[in-house]
């Protein structure tokens, strides 16, 4: 596998740092969201990983709890 192949791979689980980049937030905030259960994570051996769909669910939850501008 060369360098270009590695960049085109779509992982189904992410490191905390990768997940933070996906949400465009800081690493510390991402760790906080994981530790308080707002974003689901899994252990794979000794590693903590965030499933991609956990990020999607988290954003969907945020969107459903935020009033839309039309409601104002």
Q: What is the pLDDT of residues 34-69, one digit of tens each?
A: 999 999 999 999 999 999 999 999 999 999 987 766
Residue 3: inside a domain, yes or no?
Answer: no
47 vs 70: CA distance, rounded Å: 43
* Structural element, H or E, at residue 44: strand 42-44
Residue 35: inside a domain, yes or no?
Answer: yes
Total domains, the chain: 1
21 is in which domain, residue-wise?
A: 10-66
**Please, what is the angle between helix 27-35 and helix 16-23, to 10°?**
110
Close Cβ partners of 47 (under 8 Å, ≥ 6 residues apart): 15
71 has pLDDT over 60? no
Task: Give the pLDDT confidence score for residue 60 in this predicted structure.
Answer: 96
User: Is 40 strand, coil or helix?
Assistant: coil
Residue 22: inside a domain, yes or no?
Answer: yes
Task: Give the pLDDT confidence score for residue 4 in this predicted structure.
Answer: 54
Look up the pTM and report it. 0.77
């Amino acid at each position: 596998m060369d360098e270009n192949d590695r960049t085109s791979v779509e992982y189904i689980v992410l490191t905390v740092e990768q997940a933070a980049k996906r949400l465009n937030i800081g690493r510390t905030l991402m760790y906080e969201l994981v530790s308080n259960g707002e974003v689901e994570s899994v252990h794979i051996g000794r590693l903590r990983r965030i499933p991609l769909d956990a990020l999607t669910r988290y954003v969907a939850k945020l969107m459903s709890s935020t009033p839309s501008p039309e409601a104002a």
